[in-house]
Amino acid sequence: MHQPKEVHLQAALRIVQYLKGTPGRGILFKRNRNVNLEAYTDADYAGSIVDRRSTTGYCTFLGGNLVTWKSKKQSVVARSSAEAEFRAMAQGICELLWLKIILEDLRIKSDEPMRLYCDNKSAISIAHNPVQHDRTKHIEVDRHFIKEKLDSGLICTPYVSSQDNLADILTKGLNSNIFEKIVSKLGMENSYSPA
């Protein structure tokens, strides 16, 4: 905002063009009897060329319907892609726990563990491994937090391939085909399209 350039104007015009072309696009909530909570998490490792901080992204689903999503630059520089993904996992778990508390306040309970999908096998491995390594000491608090939720059976962390990770839309620039595929999976539909 302090030093706008031509590229910034082009990016803003591209966003306006997208919004103008999709006036009827929105999220359609479908009726579903299950109340399972799921989250997809992702991080772009050192994605900011200015300060090399990563961006965390997550989206959460209740009964297959998208209910919350967030994308935010991480507050510290990650030393590895696993660390960046691990921080994203911790944020996703916090969001799942918040949603679970809201559901419990509404007297809606689910015995199923909440699913936290991640596309980084190293981060999932660190979450399950109780041994403390020198390489993970800088993320020790997040590791203990995630491990506690795994051990209690509150969450499970299945692996999802990068091409199927819905949180990619929040952290990466995607080509139009992948973008449209993910938008469709998020439950976004065009109310003006013929039925």
CB contact at 8 A, 69 and 187: no
Q: What is the pLDDT of residue 116?
A: 97
Architecture field, domain 34-183: 2-Layer Sandwich (3.30)
**Count of Cβ atoms closer than 10 Å to residue 120 Cβ:** 25
Least confidently predicted of 7-16, 63-72, 98-107, 131-140? 131-140
Per residue in 47-56, pLDDT (tens digit) is 998 999 999 9
Distances (CA, A) of 115 to 20, 22, 41, 85, 107: 35, 31, 11, 16, 20
Q: 3-state class of 77 per DSSP?
A: coil
Per residue in 87-145, pLDDT (tens digit) is 999 999 999 999 999 999 999 988 899 999 999 998 898 888 756 555 566 677 888 89
Task: Provide the whole-model pTM.
Answer: 0.87
Per residue, what are the HEC states of 23-68? CCEEECCCCCCCCCEEEEEEEECCCCCCCCCCEEEEEEEECCEEEE
- What residue segments make up the domains of the chain, in order of their start? 34-183
d(CA 80, CA 77): 9
Instruction: Report which DSSP code applies to 178.
Output: H
Q: What is the pLDDT of residue 132?
A: 54
